[in-house]
Chain A
Amino acid sequence: MRVSLPLLVSAFAVCGVMALPVVYLALRAGESDSSTWDLILRSRTVGLGIRTLGLAASVTATAVAVGVSLAWLTTRTDVPGRRLWAVLAPLPLVVPSYVGALILLSVLSPRGLLQELLAPFGVDRLPGIAGFPGAFLTLALFTYPYVYLLAVAGLRGQDPALEETARTLGLSRWATFRRVTFPLLRPSVAAGGLLVALYTLHDFGAVSLMRFQTFTQAIFLQYRAAFDRTPAAILSLMLVAVALAVLGLEHRARGRARYYRSGSGARRPLSPVHLRKWRWPCAAFCGLVALLAVGLPVTVLGYWLSRTVAAGREIGEVGPAMFGSLAAAAGGAGLTVLAATPIALLAARHPGRSSRLAERLTYAGFALPGIVVALAFVFIGANLVPALYQTLPLLLVAYVVLFLPQASEPIRAALLQVSPRVEEAGRVLGRSGAYVFRKLVAPLASRGAMVGFALVSLTVMKELPATLLLRPTGFETLATLVWTESSVGRFGAAAFPALLLVTLSAIPLYLLAGRVDLQEVRAE
């Protein structure tokens, strides 16, 4: 089949937009004179790099430790309450980092809820957690599910015969885990760790609320404070470089082994590991994580809400913000799906070098922090197309750059369900190409597009930095409302929009994930 020209043109137009931010930032940085570089290369920047990498490394290490232990405990052992922990463990994923930060701050800041509780005992001030401890705790608590989910999938996909072979070769349970199970899990753990590391590098909400200066926060401050925005552009490029380095690291961590479950024989579930005297300590560990990552957010947000209502105060002007969130989500997701369709069609129907390149480019958004994309579009809007500056369309384009793969992947996957052979069979049966496309390809693509729309709109709803920088004046979303209220310490006012945001994004996510889970359960 030949590639139609309109398809090719529209696909490469999308690619052009995807490449725009980085190209523009590079040009902008290239213009800078030596004095700007002096500014950048001052020791402050070195400190910035150390802090950013240190945070990313410690968060990733903690998330891996927590995620892998939970995954192993819930899939392979007889830990009490394993079903409950398996349900609770992925939930923190729906809590955006800035909401997490707001929750921890409102409890643990010097005069937070914990201090109020302890006041009768003469505690009138707590040390507080602003800075590294707060940023670390927030990000680790709400990102470990990435590792958990991938580790669970990895553990379930392992060939049970491998562990059994190790046992017949004389290895104890623990030695088997150390020498077989964990090494085989490494690619899943590396992929999960990558997601956590990138999330941490990209995070703007938690670090800025916790006042811990990393690249993203420095970029934001530079952008706000300085008239000359070139330093912000250079900092952005440095952050992109760090993100790319992390991607490379993950690639190396995969090692040279290939991982697959060979054979198609009947699956025998492995008999669970009996923890014996460790059963209750392990259950306590699961309980502690669930308490901090699920119980605490629910309790704190609920508490703030009831307190605000009880005090007779308005629960806040959430109407416009909620409308803004829904509008941004629908608009952003719609535009992203539209842009993703030619890319997905090209990748699924015409695999080749150019379509691979197009696909790779769409993943740019994955490595690009929201704040960097936002900054690039601020420049572009302000200098090149002033008519678009601080308008909704420009914000929506930024969403496209950030979230395109989330839409193109489901569409492509749906298209790949129909092999080209099936299409050819349709043609041989005497149907025109257009007929086959309409009857076969289009319905499938639209199913994928719906999934993509759902995923992107959920993500847009939680997105903070790009929305913050690019929104039209006076345009408020739940995310920006939570951020502005909590950055000035008005946790009560932030709680309701935060709760709304979590609920709005959690319910569809639960439905999406629930369907997958149910199918798995039935298959077992």
Chain B
Amino acid sequence: MTPEVLRVRGVRKRFGATVALDGFDLDVHRGTVLALLGPSGCGKTTALRIIAGLERPDAGEVWVGDRRATGPGVHVPPERRRIGMVFQEGALFPHIDVAANVGFGLPTGSEARVSPVLDLVGLRGLEDRMPHELSGGQQQRVALARALAPGPEVILLDEPFANLDASLRNRVRGEVRGILRDAAATAVIVTHDQEEALAVADHVAVMDRGRILQTGPPHEVYDAPAHREVAALLGEANFLTGTVREGTVLTILGPIPAPAAADGPVEVMVRPESIQVDPEATAEATVTDVEFYGHDQMVAVRLSDGSGVRCRPLGLRRDLVVGTRVRLSVTGPAHLFPRRIGDGPPGELEAPMARPG
């Protein structure tokens, strides 16, 4: 694997009584895009600002390349860290035009480097526009170009798509992904949107309450979450109780194979798209709601014991309407967690046992 461009170790930060970061570690490899995903208030933005040098941590270290930028008695000011930053609102300088914004961080005399960067972000020809004359997506691309122009080691993007409306967001996200790849940039994107994190990043780091819970490629953290919290943060998940017996979990949705698991009570996570839904007049489960998404639909089903699961069968299913009696079966991957017995301390995290085969 390529060497780490950015290493964060054991960073702690509190604001008054609130603990924002509580032993935060992070590794970002050269040329990769890492998404830092977490619910709002989990400390993502604080982490980013400490990496950029805009905030000083109470403890911990930040290494950029081979250089320690933050550590006990060390604080490299933000202007000497070679770290670019793109803020949520773009934060373009409103008093200067696009070319001057992009060239802002370049040494005087190197204005020639503005044009290639504008080419890269596809904004050639807009050099003379003022920021307020640009659309939201264009503003965000100028902000990215401005951060890329001085050739930083790492680019930090703080919820860069949050201010764009839904229809624009997907497009700009794709553009930014392409630009970062073309520039072979190393980037950290902070987001609270799991779809965004999974779509944009090479690696996803899921964080909650000031620390990283799991880091890995998108499919890995999605399919094999290390904690129940990670599973819940990354898309919809159904949690069923079950018991493992001789390589099979018995659940309300029927038996699910789990060859490597030891016998005993477990919790099974099943993604909605892993559940097959078949109408069956004599079945005990009933469709209670259908959310139509155009290309497919989310179906809420009430089971015989009164609990509910959410299923997302492929394609358009006109046969599923509210009141339809259905039979459910698990077809895709399921993931086991040890069952919590009794009332453990809230928020206690436990390691997963095994992946079913």
Contacts and interface: CB of A to CB of B under 8 A. Distances in A.
A255 B95 contact: yes
A260 B147 CA distance: 21
Give the interface residue-count category, chain A: 20 to 34
B93 A162 contact: yes
A164 B104 CA distance: 13
Nearest to B152: A168
B105 A184 contact: no
A188 to B, nearest CB: 12
B79 A165 contact: no
Contacts of A166: 93, 104
Contacts of B146: 165, 169
B96 to A, nearest CB: 7
Given A168-B85, A257-B130, A258-B130, A186 B79 contact: no
B89 A167 contact: no
A263 B80 CA distance: 27
Contacts of B31: none
Contacts of A292: none
Contacts of A506: none
A184 B92 CA distance: 12
Interface string A156-173: 000101101111111110
Contacts of B89: 159, 161, 262-263, 265
B94 interface: yes
A394 to B, nearest CB: 48
B83 interface: yes
A259 interface: yes
Interface in A118-176: 159, 161-162, 164-172
B20 to A, nearest CB: 12
A451 interface: no
Nearest to A265: B88
Q: Which of B81, B132, B150 has the most CB of A within 10 A?
A: B132
B63 interface: no
A44 interface: no
B147 A168 contact: yes
Contacts of B79: 167-172
Contact of A168 (B81, B90, B93, B130): B81
Contacts of A164: 52, 54, 78, 85, 87, 91
Contacts of A263: 88-89, 163
A183 B100 CA distance: 13
A256 interface: yes
B91 A169 contact: no
A165 B91 contact: yes
A255 B84 CA distance: 29
Interface in B58-85: 77-81, 83-85
Contact of A165 (B77, B87, B96, B130): B87
A45 B18 CA distance: 69
Interface string B116-142: 000000000000001110000000000
Contacts of A167: 53-54, 77-79
B150 A260 contact: no
Nearest to B83: A168
Given A164-B85, A167-B77, A172-B79, A259 B105 contact: no
Contacts of B53: 167-168
Contacts of B80: 170
B132 A258 contact: yes
B57 to A, nearest CB: 14
Given A262-B89, A263-B163, A257 B95 contact: yes
Interface in A169-222: 169-172, 179-180, 183-184, 186
A170 B80 CA distance: 6
A186 B93 CA distance: 13
A183 B95 contact: yes
Interface residues of B, number: 29
Most A CB atoms within 10 A — which of B91, B104, B130, B146? B91
A172 B104 CA distance: 13
B78 A168 contact: yes
A159 B91 contact: yes
Interface string B295-339: 000000000000000000000000000000000000000000000
Contact of A169 (B54, B84, B163): B84
B105 A171 contact: yes
A168 B154 CA distance: 11
Contacts of A256: 130
Contacts of B96: 183, 257
A260 B84 CA distance: 23
Contacts of A169: 79, 84, 104-105, 146-147, 150
A172 B94 CA distance: 20
A265 B84 CA distance: 20
Nearest to A185: B95
A184 B104 contact: no
Given A169-B79, A255-B95, A262 B147 contact: no
B113 to A, nearest CB: 13
A172 B52 CA distance: 14
Nearest to A176: B79
Contacts of B90: 262
Contacts of B87: 161, 164-165
A351 B94 CA distance: 29
Contact of A257 (B88, B91, B94, B105): B94
B102 to A, nearest CB: 10
Nearest to A183: B95
Interface in A94-109: none
Contacts of A170: 79-80, 105, 150
A168 B81 CA distance: 8
A256 B133 CA distance: 11
Nearest to A256: B130
B139 to A, nearest CB: 9
A178 to B, nearest CB: 13
Given A164-B78, A170-B105, A259 B94 contact: yes
Most B C-beta atoms less than 10 A away, residue of A169, A255, A263: A169
Contacts of A162: 91, 93
Contacts of B163: 262-263
Q: Among the interface residues A161, A255, A258, which one has the most CB atoms of the partner chain B within 10 A? A: A161
Nearest to B132: A258
B13 to A, nearest CB: 13
Contacts of A258: 94, 130, 132
A186 B85 contact: no
A234 B89 CA distance: 54
Contacts of B93: 162, 165-166, 180, 183-184
Contacts of A179: 104
A448 to B, nearest CB: 31
A279 to B, nearest CB: 19
A256 to B, nearest CB: 6
Nearest to B90: A262
Given A168-B83, A171-B105, A184 B95 contact: yes
Nearest to B136: A262
A12 to B, nearest CB: 37
A185 to B, nearest CB: 10
Nearest to B149: A169
Nearest to A261: B89
Contacts of B95: 183-184, 186, 255, 257, 259
Contacts of A262: 89-91, 163
Given A258-B130, A258-B132, A263-B163, A168 B94 contact: no
Interface in A210-263: 255-260, 262-263
A435 to B, nearest CB: 40
10 contacts: A159-B89, A161-B87, A164-B87, A165-B85, A168-B52, A168-B105, A169-B84, A183-B93, A257-B96, A265-B89
Given A171-B104, A180-B93, 4 more contacts: A159-B89, A168-B105, A186-B95, A263-B88
Task: Rank and list the top 4 A-B pairs by shortest CB-CB distance, nearest first.
Answer: A169-B105, A263-B89, A161-B91, A257-B95
